[in-house]
Structure 1
């Protein structure tokens, strides 16, 4: 039978026929298969694939809208360094907690002491890990880094933080103590009434602008060790760097706070979904500004930069900035002046065993 003599609704399919008696291929046998049947079969396959795709989308959307049990157990600790835009960032967490269903707790230590007693460390670790009614939770406060592994904790909290150029941070703090800010303008500050400028303080060798006052970001990251608070300690600097890369999910910089917020939203949507838009448009995002702040002169900056303490604090800041920019380069791109997050660029394949 020739191909031309086949009925129009049949398709000729051919396959070799193997003889069990001989290891050679027998003549090819051809069978007629109705085209209609093949079309029906293809249609059924497409329907099955569509159902699988739709099921996958539904499962994905369900997972996105319904946090997993692990996400509901998450705890974030933001051991905020003073005068690094920490209030502006924390306001975002407060604005989102109701919508994203988590708790925000302020760690208010006596006299803002960043070092806890050993008994308070135990209480704090116990609270953070066992206070189930408060999970998921976002803790924030002016407290130095606390290593949870020393307390036998199986699941550690996620640490985040923001740091700032050390001289800019000191200048902001200097004027904050004297004039306050626009967050609570009526609150009397510790140095209120002192009209001396930062430049005048540096020129006179005052204690509030001394290089020793720069020593703050390093000990905050170094932690609850005595050496961390020894001004100018090289060990403290190295420990702070170690903790930054090993214990913190992300450390941003004040000068690039929007990027920090965007990356947190991408990495931790359980907490920060909607944070970027809120930062851009929310009234509270840029609420706190130090009043009466005057930029220091080049002479004042140069005098501070001669100190070994500034060199160490600046070393730490540059280290943190480089790490942040490295993480950002692998997460964010800029186009037409707008930042956008990179899509997922990994996938799974060669999954075994096959079902």
Structure 2
């Protein structure tokens, strides 16, 4: 440029500078336009990608509505391995009343002679049925069967276990009179001990076998499962295993004395099955039908005699353990107002969700 200034007249030098400035301005302008075009192109690509993602989500949502997923509970299985004389029939009637409306199947597990322990081959068959019988899903299985650990059979998705237990002496008294007089559910059916008019108190006083402390040993083995030690009366290992299973394998275990609360909490936890259960329990007739006939409460002396046994102490410890766990869950789920129980609203939310979307 210095050489041009020497060789060119001043007028031409000015023109050259102007031409250079115009060229630089034009070049910068073109660069800016290219940058703007690049930004627009990137935004267009981003919008296209977002549109594709939204389209995929919409299609996925349509597919989920057309073929409901596991998250919707369409392949869920609930097992209620009901303990005898714990209001199990009253509760099961609710499931039968709701199955048509809520669109699920109810299946009764009827074992030979009401044996709560299945053979190994029947365990395999049962696990296979529960997991692979797609036509029956969603399903509610119920029966007097002890807990069965599905993980032992290589099953990845386990069923949901629920149950109800009762004060051990109250349960035994109810069972004692049920065997002699039946109940108002099927009053014409002849029971095994029909004709025996001896009261529970008379049985305890005479040291009878039907009211012996060994007869209390039932709720622990039902929760303990299909291990030989579970059925050894008075086994401390069985007690601890039953506690472990109750906490780790069961969604919810209620108590007969607070059955309405149990129904309410199940409706909140599993609406796919139990939507409408609380109202049905309060107003339905079937739920309150089954009552043991001719039942007489035991005297304090009879209860005290049973409570001296180590077996009662263990069964009662398990009952108290289950009751405490149930009341803990309930305390964090419901509130009482004007004598009525109300479920708590959702008490958590999500925040700081990343990455951010425009």
TM-score normalised per structure 2? 0.81
Question: Is the CA contact 2:70–2:76 (under 8 Å) kept in the aligned structure 1?
Answer: no
Structure 2: where are the runs of 5+ without partners?
1-60
CA RMSD between the two structures: 1.3
Deviation sequence 1:199-219 (CA, Å, 0-9, x none): 000000000000000000000
> What does residue range 29-178 of structure 1 map to in structure 2 within 5 Å?
68-70=69-71, 71-178=73-180
Give the C-alpha shift of residue 124 in structure 1: 0.1
Determine if the alignment matches structure 1 residue 182 to structure 2 residue 198.
no
Structure 1: where are the runs of 5+ without partners?
1-58
Question: Is the CA contact 1:159–1:250 (under 8 Å) kept in the aligned structure 2?
Answer: yes
- Tell me the equivalent position of 1:347: 349
Deviation sequence 1:217-243 (CA, Å, 0-9, x none): 000000000000000000000000000
> What does residue range 252-267 of structure 1 map to in structure 2 within 5 Å?
252-267=254-269
Structure-2 separation of matches of 1:164 and 1:230: 21
- Tell me the equivalent position of 2:205: 203
Determine if the alignment matches structure 1 residue 334 to structure 2 residue 336.
yes
Q: Could you say what secondary structure the match of 1:72 adopts?
A: coil
Give the C-alpha shift of residue 69 in structure 1: 3.7
Q: Could you say what secondary structure the match of 2:304 adopts?
A: helix
Structure-2 separation of matches of 1:320 and 1:137: 25
Give the C-alpha shift of residue 286 in structure 1: 0.7
Deviation sequence 1:265-316 (CA, Å, 0-9, x none): 0000000000000000000011100000000000000000000000000000
Q: Could you say what secondary structure the match of 1:334 adopts?
A: strand
- Tell me the equivalent position of 2:235: 233
Structure-2 separation of matches of 1:208 and 1:100: 41
> What does residue range 261-340 of structure 1 map to in structure 2 within 5 Å?
261-340=263-342
Structure-1 separation of matches of 2:269 and 2:346: 11
Q: Could you say what secondary structure the match of 1:186 adopts?
A: coil
Q: Work out which of the two has the higher radius of gyration on C-alpha atoms and give 1 or 2.
A: 2
Structure-2 separation of matches of 1:297 and 1:283: 31
Q: Could you say what secondary structure the match of 2:278 adopts?
A: helix
Structure-1 separation of matches of 2:218 and 2:117: 12
Question: Is the CA contact 2:252–2:326 (under 8 Å) kept in the aligned structure 1?
Answer: yes
- Tell me the equivalent position of 1:219: 221
Structure-2 separation of matches of 1:81 and 1:73: 25
**How many residue pairs were aligned?**
293
Where does structure 1 differ by over 2 angstroms across 4 or more consecutive aligned residues?
66-70
Give the C-alpha shift of residue 67 in structure 1: 6.0
Structure-2 separation of matches of 1:286 and 1:210: 29
